[in-house]
Amino acid sequence: MNGRTSVLSLVAAALLACDGSMQTVSVTAEDFRFKPDLVRVRASAPLTLSVYNAGREVHEFDSPILMYAAKTSLPKGSPESANNPGIVIRPGQSLQVVMAPPAGTYLYICRRKGHANMTGTLIVE
């Protein structure tokens, strides 16, 4: 079993082990900010995080700890994403991440040059 299969197996096991229904959270990336910039969810249920780029600029969603075991619906197959740690989201494009994160506080950021203050926080309680 390779590393990718192991991670996907762990995500699947975590989703099956969770009690409760799927939570859905929507975040909008605007030019130089995330709305909302603070999100709270339950640790007892799996989560679908949707990020939509409503801005004019390209954004790059990244949360290294949160994304480690997440399964994304937008592959990192574009030439831009290959050279970036996050997932590139063009204007009008969406990203969906399905996960079952443990309780904790997770920072998410846009890694594009000039977007240093474009951050948000996901609190899992």
pLDDT per residue over 12-36, tens digit each?
545 545 555 889 999 999 989 999 9
Strand 71-72 versus strand 94-99 pairing type: antiparallel
In order of their start, the domains of the chain are: 3-124 (2.60.40.420)
Is 50 exceeded by the pLDDT of residue 123?
Answer: yes
Going 11 to 85 to 73 to 79, the CA torsion angle's sign is negative
**CA dist list (Å): 79 to 59, 62, 69, 76, 94:** 15, 17, 23, 8, 17
Residue 71: its pLDDT value, please?
A: 53
> Which pTM does this prediction carry?
0.73
Confidence of residue 84 (pLDDT cuts 50, 70, 90): low
Confidence of residue 74 (pLDDT cuts 50, 70, 90): very low
